[in-house]
Structure formats: structure tokens, C-alpha cells
Amino acid sequence: MIYTITPNPAIDRIVYLEGDLTPEKNNITKEKYVDLGGKPTHVSAILEQLGDTPNKATGFSGELNKAELVSIFEKYRMNHEFINIPDQRTRESIIVINNSGGSYMITERGLMVSDSDKSKLYSYITENIHSEDIAVVGKPAQGFSVEDFRYLIRLLKEQNAYVACDVAGEYLGVALEEEIDFIKPNKHEINDLLPGDEPIHRKFNRICEKVPNAVCSLGSEGALYKVENTFYQAVPPKVEVQSDTGAGDAFVTGYIYGVANGYDISDRVKWGILCSASKVQHYSSCQINKEDFGFIENNLKIHEVI
Ligand code: ATP
Ligand code: MG
Ligand code: MG
């Protein structure tokens, strides 16, 4: 079973404007819709679209607006079991998209979890997640310190689960120190963690010393990975991009799908590229279309990086 653990999910309100956002003006909307926010939930939504991959989304959710979050989960047919936080609301993010391109994101800090909420999550993990299971962990909510995050990772490892994280900053540092099974920083996240002028694949190599099967994603330039002592870059073909929000989560989904199916690292990366280069062709942060895969696979280029 693949468990996605989202400590701070979000309800995203995407607003497209007729013009560009201007102060002291009545900014008229062209279109608006509601989408899922909080990275690991995207992984569950995309796994459902891939099919044949048992998975469950868990984490914390606010009791006061639970019905709306659940309605979004159900739109993606997700299997979900979140721990209720009483008297709180799951955060909402407002994403304003200008007619001429470019966007603004306004978000809330989200749930504030107590020691008793954290204990419930830890119990859920010890009761449900075991060896053979895969856990995809997201960035913590308020009240969940970096050391709590370390504890969560250690607990998952004690349960013998395969642990994957897509986190940045100090959380990425902890994921490396704890030598988890998979991380996918993008190149900006690696540059923030390891400043300096070294080429990105040299910095990435320092990441691989801790997590040998890590991947560094490079946006439209694809992804960097290491097999034995050689670095490779897998580059997707040029596609028509509608939105790159959630591209990283789609990559993680494809990779984890490969782990669950026993694929080697090259095929895991290929599935990461298939899912993510499909995702960018759709507006929603967790929408793919398997019909996009043929073109991507036939035009995917892989070269060595020296
Ligand atoms: P996120 O914003 O979701 O956190 P990220 O910055 O972590 O994303 P990226 O490196 O931007 O992740 O993208 C992840 C993957 O998505 C890339 O490896 C690539 O396969 C695909 N991708 C991103 N942008 C494009 C694009 N313009 N065209 C094709 N594929 C893309
Ligand atoms: Mg990016
Ligand atoms: Mg990312």
C-alpha cells in the first residue's frame, strides 16, 4: 500500500482574471475553480489516475471545512482517512492568474496541531504502515517542529516502510540526515541547501551520497539521476504547457509507481517524466492523461552528464 501523509493539506481557489491584477480597481474574474493543495495529496490523486496501485491519503484535516476537502478527494476518487483537527479549518489558498500570464498566490499558514493530534498520527502509522508499504511524506503543519518531522521519519523507518519526501530547506536537510529512501529536490532547492559555484550534478552527487536513488528535477529540462557512477539526464519533449503547478508531485508519483512495481531506477525516472510532462499539459495541479504518455515516451531523450 502507498500511504501519502499530508500534515497540512489545502483547498486551492484558482481565479482567472479578465485583465491583470491592478490595485484600486475592480478586477473581474473570467473563470474560477477549486483544486487540491498539499503535495502528497496530489500523489494519491495521480496514483488513482494511473490505476491498479492501492493507496491511501492520510494526514491532518480541519473539522470545520472537512466536507469541502472530502468533496475534492472524491472528485479524484481518492481513498482517504485523515485525522480530524477539531474547531479548525483546513487552509485555503487563493491563486490569482493574470490574463497576460503570471500568477499570485495568497495562502494561510494552516492547521495548528497539538501533541495529542501528533500522537494520533503516530499511532495511525504504527497500526497501519509496515514493511512492503511506501510512505510519501509532506511538509509539516504548524506545531509540528523539524524535530517532530525527524521523529515521524524515524517512526516510518522503524516500521520498515520505504520513505519518500518532497520537502525543501531544513526538512530536506533532515530527510538527508535520516538517509530516507527517496527525495526529489528541484535544482533551486539543491542550490539553496548547498550554495556555491559547483555544477548542479556535483552538488547532486553529495545528495546521492546520502540517498543513492535521489533525483534532481530540472523543470522543462527534465531530471538528473545517477546509476552506479554515471549521471544521466532524462529530457522530456517540448509540450504545450498549461500549468506547471504540481509538476514535481507528478514526477514523485511516477517514480513511486515504479518503486511499487519493482522497476529499476531508469524506468522509475521514465515514469516520473511520463506523469510530470503529462501533468504540465493540464490546468489542474493533479491531472494527468495516460493518452499523453505515448508521445512523451517516444520523444524522451536520455544523455550522460559529464
Ligand atoms: P513543483 O512546483 O510541483 O514543486 P518542482 O519545481 O519541484 O515542481 P520541476 O523541476 O519544475 O519540479 O518539474 C518536475 C518535472 O516536471 C520535470 O522533471 C519534468 O519532467 C516536468 N516538467 C516541468 N516543467 C515542464 C515543461 N515545461 N515541459 C515538460 N515537462 C516539464
Ligand atoms: Mg519547478
Ligand atoms: Mg517541488
Residue 300 pLDDT exceeds 90: yes
In the sheet that 2-6 helps form, which strands lie side by side, from edge to edge? 80-85, 55-62, 2-6, 134-137, 162-165, 182-183
- Report the pLDDT value the prediction gives residue 102, as an integer from 0 to 100: 87
* pLDDT higher than threshold 90 for residue 259: yes
204: domain range? Answer: 2-305
Give the mean model confidence (pLDDT) for residues 132-149.
94
Please give the average per-residue pLDDT across 190-202, as a whole number.
Answer: 94
Q: Residue 219 carries which DSSP code?
A: G
Q: 111 CA distance to ligand 2 centroid (A)? A: 25
Please give the pLDDT value at position 101: 85
What whole-number distance in Å separates Cα of residue 1 and Cα of residue 11? 25
Cα-to-centroid distance, 186 and ligand 3 (Å): 6
Q: What percent of the chain has pLDDT over 90?
A: 97
Per-position b or e across 3-13, b if 16+ CB within 10 A of its CB? bbbbbbbbbbb
Which CATH number is 168's domain given? 3.40.1190.20
Mean pLDDT, to the nearest integer, of 222-227? 98
Q: What is the pLDDT of residues 107-124, one digit of tens each?
A: 999 999 999 999 999 999
Residues 55-89 pLDDT 10s: 999 999 999 999 999 999 999 999 999 999 999 99
| Nearest residue by C-alpha to atom 12 in ligand 1 | 248
**Count of domains observed in the chain:** 1
Task: Give the residues surrounding ligand 1 with Cβ less than 6 Å away.
Answer: 186, 217-220, 222-223, 236, 239, 241, 244, 246-249, 251, 273, 276-277, 280
Residue 27 banded pLDDT, cuts 50, 70, 90: very high
Atom 9 (ligand 1) nearest CA = 219
Q: Which ligand is nearest to the CA of 245?
A: 1
